[in-house]
Amino acid sequence: MDRRTFRIAVFSAYLIILFRITVFRAGWLENSLFSGTVVWVPFQTIFSYLTKGEIPYFVYLFVGNIVWFVPFGMYLRLRGASVRKTILLTAALSVLIEALQFVFGTGCTELEDVLLNTAGGAIGCACAALYRRLKA
């Protein structure tokens, strides 16, 4: 397997895992369509865990929403996408995931997730730049 094929295979596996943990969770076919909930107030849910003292869940949601999108941003940037395009595509992927969560009732559709996921893509851009500097 050449390097290009390997990179595509790893990126494809990453996307499959990402959609599995965010949308296609166990029992997703059993839910009614369009049964999800929507929270439009940014950080309302995530900070509610903080105020309740549920620090591990707060960290899981806050950090997890960022970390899961770092590879996406890094991959796009290393493949030659501009920073702007990478951030826009990261936001678009996040919106798609949130919309699918609403449609399949597999999660709470939240504006904060889109913001944190997009931040993860931006961090991925920075990681790609750092990687290129260290490689040079």
Q: Model confidence over 14-57: pLDDT tens digits? A: 999 999 999 999 888 888 888 888 999 999 989 899 999 999 99
Helix 3-22 vs helix 70-78: crossing angle, to nearest 10 = 150
Which of these, 77, 74, 57, lies nearest to 65 by C-alpha position? Answer: 57
Question: For residue 51, how far is the Cα from the chain centroid?
Answer: 24
Q: 2 pLDDT exceeds 90?
A: yes
Q: Where are the alpha helices (DSSP H) in the chain?
A: 3-22, 44-51, 55-67, 70-78, 83-104, 111-135
How far apart are the C-alpha atoms of 76 and 96, rounded to whole Å? Answer: 17
pTM comes to 0.92
Q: Model confidence over 54-100: pLDDT tens digits? A: 999 999 999 999 999 999 999 999 999 999 999 999 999 999 999 99
How confident is the model at residue 67, as a pLDDT?
A: 97
Task: List the structure tokens of 54.
Answer: 């549920």
- The answer to whether the CB of 23 falls within 8 A of the CB of 97 is yes
46's torsion region: left (phi>0), alpha (psi -120 to 50) or beta? alpha
Instruction: Grade residue 121 by pLDDT with cuts at 50, 70 and 90.
Output: very high
- The answer to whether the CB of 114 falls within 8 A of the CB of 61 is no
